[in-house]
Structure 1
Amino acid sequence: MRFKPSRGLSTPKASRPTEATTEKSADDIPFDRRRHEAEIRRAENLAAGLPEDTQEVQDEPPTTGRDQRFRSPDIGRTEESPEAESEPEAPARRAPSRAPKSLLDRARSAVKEVAKKVRELIAPEDKSSVEVIINAEPLETRVAVLVESRLDDFTVERTNTERLVGSVYKGKVKNLEDGLKAAFVDIGFDKNAFLHYWDIIPNSFDSSVEVVEREDRKRKRKEGPAITARDVPRLYPVGSDIIVQVTKGPIGTKGPRVTTNLSLPGRYLVLLPNSEQCGISRKIEDPSERQRLKKILRELTLPDGMGVIIRTAGEGKLRRYFIRDVALLLEEWKAVQAKIQNDRAPSCVFQEPDLIERTVRDFLTEDVSRIIIDDNHQFLRVRDLIGRISQRSAKKIVFYNEAEPLFDRYNVSRQLEQAFGRQVTLKGGGYLIIDETEALVAIDVNTGRHKGSRDHDQNLLKVNLEAADEICRQLRLRNMGGIIVLDFIDMKSRKDQQVLYQRMKHHLKRDRAKTHVLPLSQLGLMEMTRQR
C-alpha cells in the first residue's frame, strides 16, 4: 500500500492573491511563538545595547513573595469558581444516571469508574479549608493564602508602585528599526517601549488553549493574505497612534515590552478585543464538560472582531454566568474605547487592577471560608465588589479590628521567616536543600530522620511525594523561575517513579506561572522550567 497525498502527487497549490509580492520571505512566515521568541529576545537585547545572548536578570530580586510581572491571562486556574447567585443552583447538581441499557454502556461506565479511582489515587481531591489574609498598610499591601492554617501563597505590592505591567496604553510610534524588526513606542515613560513586529501580528493560541470554531466566524472569514511583518511599516508609520498592552516591565537598560494583542481577564472568561479567535482552557480535562462549554461558547453573542477564552474557573458553570461575564467585560472595554477616543497619546487607557481586586478575582473560590481584612476602607470596598457577583459570598468578608497584628494573629509572619531558608524541613522528618544560582535552581531531597514502615520502597515513595508537595509550594512562595533541577531520592520501581511524576504535574496545575516538567531521567533527576 502506497501513501498518496490528499491533493495528488504533483498537483500545484492554487496561488492566492497578495497585495505586494508572491515570493515567500522570512517576513511573510506566520507567527510562531516557540520559533520566534529567541529572535524577539535577540532584538530586544540589541536595542538595549546588550550582547545578543544576554539572559534577563532582575535588578532587585524579591526577598519575599512573588513579583508582579504580567503573564498571559490566568486561564489555567484549578480552583473552583465562587457562587455567582444568591439562590441555590439546582441545575448544578447532576441527576442520578440511568442504568446502562447495553453491554457497551456497562463497559463504558466501568471504565469511567476505574479512571475516576485512578485519578483519586494519583491526585486526591483537596477539600481543605482556605483562608485569605489581607494586610493593607499605607505603604504596601500583603496577601497570604492559608490552607489549613499553613501558608500556601504570598504576594506583596507597594501602594506607590505604578501597575505598569498588564495596563493598556495609547502610544505613539517614535521609530521603526527594520533590522531589528521592532518599533519603539512612546507610552509616557523615560524609555520607549519595545514592540517587536511579531507582537504586532495577530498570533494564534499556545498549547494551553484549544481553538473553538464558531459558525458565524467561518461565514465571515475574509479571503486574502494575512498580515505579515512586511506590512507593519505601512500599517504603523512613524508618528501614528497605536494601542498596546505591557507584557513585561523595564529591566536594566531595557524599556517595557508591549504587544498589540490585547486581553482583558474576567472571572470566567478572557476577552480578546482584537482577535476573532475563541478557545477553551485545556486544563478542563473532562471530555463531556469540554463539549458542553464549547456549545455554550458557540452560542455566546460576541461583537464582530472579538473573541473570548473560557478559563478553568468556568468549569461546571451555567450558561448565564458566561453571558454576565461577557456583558461586564464588554462594558469595561467600552470605557477603554472612550478613553482611546478622547485622550491624547501617550496616555494610560486601562490600568491593571490592584492586588486586592486581583485577589478577589482569582482566589475567591467555593473552598475559601473567609477573607480577613484589617483595613475598614478596603473591607467595605471588597464587600461591595463581591456583592456584585454574589450576596452569599459577601458574607465571607471579615473585618479584623484587634490590637495584635493580623499576620501575627494567624502565624503568617513566623511561617514567612521559616519559608525562605536554605533548608526546609518536611513533616515526616525529611528535608529539602534549595540552592539558587545564576544558571539554575537545584533542590535536593533527603530522608533525614524520617521513620516509616518496614517497607523500604514505600518509605522512599512517601518521602518523595511529601517533598513534591513542598517543592511546588516553595516555587510559588519564592517565585523561583528558569531551569529547576530536582534530585529526589532514587526509586527503582518504574511505577513509583510515574506516581511521583503525576503528583508533580497535579500540583503544578495550581501555579499561575507557566511550567513544564519532565519525567525522571536515567540519572534520577527531574528537570522542569518555570516562567519568571
Structure 2
Amino acid sequence: MPVNAELLINVTPRETRVALVENGLLQELHIERSSRRGVLGNIYKGRVQRVMPGMQAAFVDIGLERAAFLHASDIVAARPADAAESEPRPQPLITSLVHEGQDIVVQVIKDPIGSKGARLTTEISMPSRYLVLLPDSRTVGVSSRIDDEDERQRLKGIVQAHAEAKRCGYIIRTNAEGVDAAFIEQDIAYLERAIGVLRQNAQSAKAGDCVYEDLSLPMRAVRDMLRVEVASVTIDSRETFEKVARFAQKLMPDLAGRIRHYGGERPIFDMYSVEDEIGRALDKQVPLKSGGYLVFDQTEAMTSVDINTGSFLGQKNLEETAYRTNLEAAQSVARQLRLRNLGGIIVIDFIDMQDEEHKRQVLRTLEKGLAADHVKTTVYDFSPLGLVEMTRKRTVESLQRQLCEPCAACAGRGYIKTAETVIYEIFREVTRAVRQFEADKVMVMAAPKVVAKITEEESAAVAELEEFIGKDIRFQPDEQYAQDQFDVVLS
C-alpha cells in the first residue's frame, strides 16, 4: 500500500461509508447501513432445519430471513488422536455429521448474496489486530504477504508456545510485521478472553441467537486497514471519532495519533472527489486515458470485462496498439475489481495480441495491480481464445448490488423491446382477443411513445386492422405503462 494512502470515514445516522484513497484515487469503498447490516464474521447458535445428502450440505436456521447453507467440507470433523495436523481431515457423509433439529455453533463466512442465504462454517475464527484465533485448529500460519523469512520465524516463535499450551491455532496477519512481541502477546490475551466469553454465551443461548457480533464498520476499518503506510484516518463524526480514537489507543497506540476529526462544512467525500468516483463505479463503461475503454457486465454466473481501443489509434501497428491498450487496461481492471468489489468468476477479453512476450507483460501488469488487493485472487494464463480467466473471493455483495436494484422497465436485462415490436404485438393481441370474446368496442392502453408511433406512423396499418376485425380501435396513452407494456380492453 502506498505511503500516501488515506482512510476517509463518512458517518450519517443510518449509513456509514469507508473509503480507501491511494495516490488521490478511490481504491476501495465499504458501506454499512443500519437497516441492512452485514453478518459476515458473526457467530450464531443455529438449528439444523434440513439435511440434504445429495448436496452434502444442511440448511441451518440462524435467525435470518433465509436459512443459511452449511456444506460438509465446512464442518470440523473429529481427527484421530494420533493424526498429524498436516493430514487431511476425513470427509464423512453429511448425515453422520449433523441431523435435523440439532443445535450447532456456526460462523458466517459469506453474507447472503442475491437469492442465496449466508454460507456457514463450524470452524470458528476470531480476528484481532495482529492475529486470527482458530480454536479448533493446531496450525500456526503466517500471512503470505510477510516476505522476510527471519520475520516470519520470529513471529511464529512468539505465537507457537501459546498455541501449543492452549491447543489452538493462530494466523499471524500482515499487520503484525515488525511489531514488538509485547503487542502480539496482548492480542493473544484478548483473544483468549474473547473465546472464553463466546463459549459461555453459546452455552446459554437459544437457537437463532447471535453469540458474537463483529465490530462496526469504522472499528473494523481501523483494525484491518490502518497500517504504517496509511498516513491518516479522517472521520467526519465527532462521536465516532472519539470511539475510534479510544479503540485505537488500546489496540495500536503507536498509530492512534493518525486518527483525526474533520469538522469542515464541505462533505468529506466531496473534498476528495469520492462521490464522483462512486458514481463512475456504477457505470458499465470505464474510459482509459489513451482513449480506449473497458465494459463491465455483471451477471449471476460471472463478470465479463471487454477491452476496446476506442479512439486510440496507436502510432506503429495493430500489435503495438493492442499491447499499449491492454497494459493500461490491466492496471485499470485491477483497480475496478477492488472498487466495485466484484467477486466470483471474472473473464477478461483483452484485445488480441500475437506476441507471447506482450501477453506475459499484460498478465504481469494485472497480477502486480492485484497484489495490493486484500481479497484473495487467482489469475490464470491466456486461454486459447485469448481470454484471461480469474477468480476473486466473494464474501459480500458487489458495490452495484449494494447501491442499485434492477430497472423496473427492463427487469435488469439492460434493454427493452422497441416501440415497433410492441405495436405488432398489440395488433396480434387485438386480433386474438376479438376472435375469442364478443365485443362492440376495442381500446388499447399503452405507453405514450407507443401510442404516438401507432397514430402517426402506423395509421394505415390500424385502418387495415379495423377493417379486418370489423370494429373501431381507440388508443389511450398512459404514463404508468412501460414501453413494452400494454392492455387490450374489450367492452
TM-score scaled to structure 2, two decimals?
0.70
Cα contact 1:202–1:275 (8 A) shared by 2 = no
Displacement of 1:349: 0.8
Task: Find the partner of 1:340 among 183, 202, 208.
Answer: 202
Do the aligned partners of 1:269 and 1:310 also contact (CA within 8 Å) in 2? Answer: yes
Which residue matches 2:125? 263
Other-structure match for 2:433: none
CA shift, 1:336, in A, is 1.2
SS of the aligned residue for 1:395 comes to: helix
Structure 1: gaps (5+ residues)? 1-78, 80-126, 205-216
The alignment partner of 2:166 has SS state of coil
Partners of 1:163 and 1:352 within 8 A in 2: no
Spell out the pairing of 1:494-513 with structure 2 (5 A cutoff).
Answer: 494-513=356-375
**Residue 518 (structure 1) shift:** 1.2
| Distance across 1 between alignment mates of 2:176 and 2:81 | 25
| Equivalent in the alignment of 1:131 | 6
In 2, Cα distance between the equivalents of 1:277 and 1:398?
A: 38
What are the Cα deviations for residues 419-457 of structure 1, in whole angstroms up to 9, with x where unaligned? Answer: 332221223443223233454433233344558886987
| Cα distance change on mapping 1:462 and 1:198 into 2, 3 Å | same
Task: Summarize the Cα distance change of 1:305–1:431 in structure 2 as closer, same or farther, 3 Å threshold.
Answer: same
1:492 shift after superposition: 4.0
**Contact in 1 for aligned 2:140/2:156 (Cα 8 Å):** no
Residue 146 of structure 2 corresponds to which residue in structure 1?
Answer: 284
In terms of mean alpha carbon deviation, does 408-417 or 133-142 score higher? Answer: 408-417
**Residue in structure 2 matched with residue 405 of structure 1 by the alignment:** 267
Once the two structures are TM-superposed, the CA of residue 271 in structure 1 deviates from its matched residue by: 0.7
The CA deviation string for residues 118-156 of structure 1, in whole angstroms up to 9 with x for no partner, is xxxxxxxxx440111111111111111111221111121
* Structure 1 residue corresponding to 2:217, chosen from 342, 345, 355: 355
What's the counterpart of residue 196 of structure 1? 71
**Matching residue of 1:156:** 31
Alignment counterpart, residue 423 of structure 1, candidates 264, 285, 294: 285
CA distance in 2: counterparts of 1:392 and 1:314, whole angstroms:
13
Give the corresponding residue for 2:467: none
> Which protein is bigger by CA-based radius of gyration?
2
Q: In 2 relative to 1, CA 439–248 (structure 1 residues): closer, same or farther, beyond 3 Å? A: closer
Q: What amino acid is the match of 1:149?
A: G
Tell me the distance in 2 between the aligned counterparts of 1:252 and 1:445. 27
The corresponding residue for 1:307 is 169
Q: Secondary structure at the match of 2:44?
A: strand
Alignment CA distance shift 1:228-1:421 (3 Å) = closer
- Cα distance in 1 for residues equivalent to 2:202 and 2:363: 48
Higher RCO (CA < 8 A, seq sep 6+)? 1
Greater Cα shift, 262-271 or 157-166 = 157-166
Distance 2:388 2:333 in 1: 12
- Which position in structure 1 is the counterpart of 2:383? 521
516-525 or 287-296: which moved more? Answer: 287-296
Q: Aligned in 2, Cα 1:527/1:322: closer, same or farther, shift over 3 Å?
A: same
Q: Indicate if the aligned counterparts of 2:163 and 2:169 stay in contact, CA closer than 8 A.
A: no
**1:321 Cα deviation after fit:** 3.6
Alignment of 1:38-437 (within 5 A): 79=1, 127-178=2-53, 180-202=55-77, 229=92, 238-250=100-112, 255-437=117-299
C-alpha contact (below 8 Å) 2:345/2:389 kept by paired residues? yes
Q: Which runs of 5+ in 2 are unaligned?
A: 395-491
Give the distance between the partners of 1:296 and 1:432, measured in 2 at CA: 47
Larger strand percent:
2
Within 5 Å, which residues of 2 pair with 1:465-480?
Answer: 465-480=327-342
CA contact (8 A) 2:48 2:58 kept: yes
CA distance in 2, matches of 1:322, 1:368: 20
Counterpart Cα distance in 1 of 2:360 and 2:90: 45
Give the TM-score taking structure 1 as reference length: 0.65
Matched, 1:488 2:311: no
Structure 1 CA distance for aligned equivalents of residues 272 and 19 of structure 2: 10
Distance 1:225 1:485 in 2: 32
Match of 2:306 in 1: 444
| Residue aligned with 2:263, SS | coil
* Structure 1 contact 201–228 (Cα < 8 Å) conserved: no
2:197 and 2:214 map into 1 onto residues whose CA distance is 14
Whether the 8 Å contact between 1:163 and 1:351 is mirrored in structure 2 is no
Amino acid corresponding to residue 263 of structure 2 in structure 1: N
In the alignment, the residues of structure 2 paired with residue 152 and residue 405 of structure 1 have an alpha-carbon distance, to the nearest angstrom, of 19
Task: Render the CA deviation track for 1:499-529: whole Å, top value 9, x for unaligned.
Answer: 2212212222332333221122344322222
How far apart, CA to CA, are the structure 2 residues paired with 1:226 and 1:454?
Answer: 58
**For 1:421 and 1:393, how far apart are their aligned partners in 2?**
36
The whole-number CA distance in structure 2 between the counterparts of 1:437 and 1:171 is: 31
- AA aligned opposite 2:33: R
Post-superposition offset of 1:356 = 1.1
For 1:400 and 1:251, locate their aligned partners in 2 and report how far apart those are by CA, in whole Å.
Answer: 34
Q: Relative to 1, partners in 2 of residues 1:404 and 1:518: Cα closer, same or farther, differing over 3 Å? A: same
For residues 308 and 389 of structure 1, the distance between their equivalents in structure 2, rounded to whole angstroms, comes to 18
Question: 1:176 Cα shift?
Answer: 4.4
CA distance in 2, matches of 1:450, 1:290: 47
| Change in CA separation of 1:190 and 1:364 when aligned onto 2, cut-off 3 Å | closer
C-alpha distance 184-464 of structure 1, shift in aligned 2 (>3 A): closer
Separation of aligned partners in 1, 2:23 and 2:271: 15
1:475 to 1:225, Cα distance in 2 relative to 1, 3 A? closer
Greater alpha carbon shift after TM alignment, 494-503 vs 445-454: 445-454
RMSD of aligned residue pairs (Cα, Å) = 3.4
CA contact (8 A) 1:276 1:304 kept: no
Alignment partners' CA distance in 2, 1:277 and 1:467 = 40
Q: Which amino acid letter does the alignment assign opposite residue 152 of structure 1?
A: Q
Alpha-carbon deviation of 1:396? 1.4
Indicate conservation of the 8 Å contact 1:428/1:451, yes or no: no
Return the alpha-carbon distance in structure 1 between the equivalents of residues 290 and 388 of structure 2.
22
**Contact 1:134-1:372 within 8 A present in 2 as well:** yes
Tell me if the contact between 1:487 and 1:524 (Cα under 8 Å) persists in the aligned partners. Answer: yes
Whether contact under 8 Å (2:77, 2:91) holds in the other structure is no
* Count of residues in Structure 1 that have an aligned counterpart in Structure 2: 393
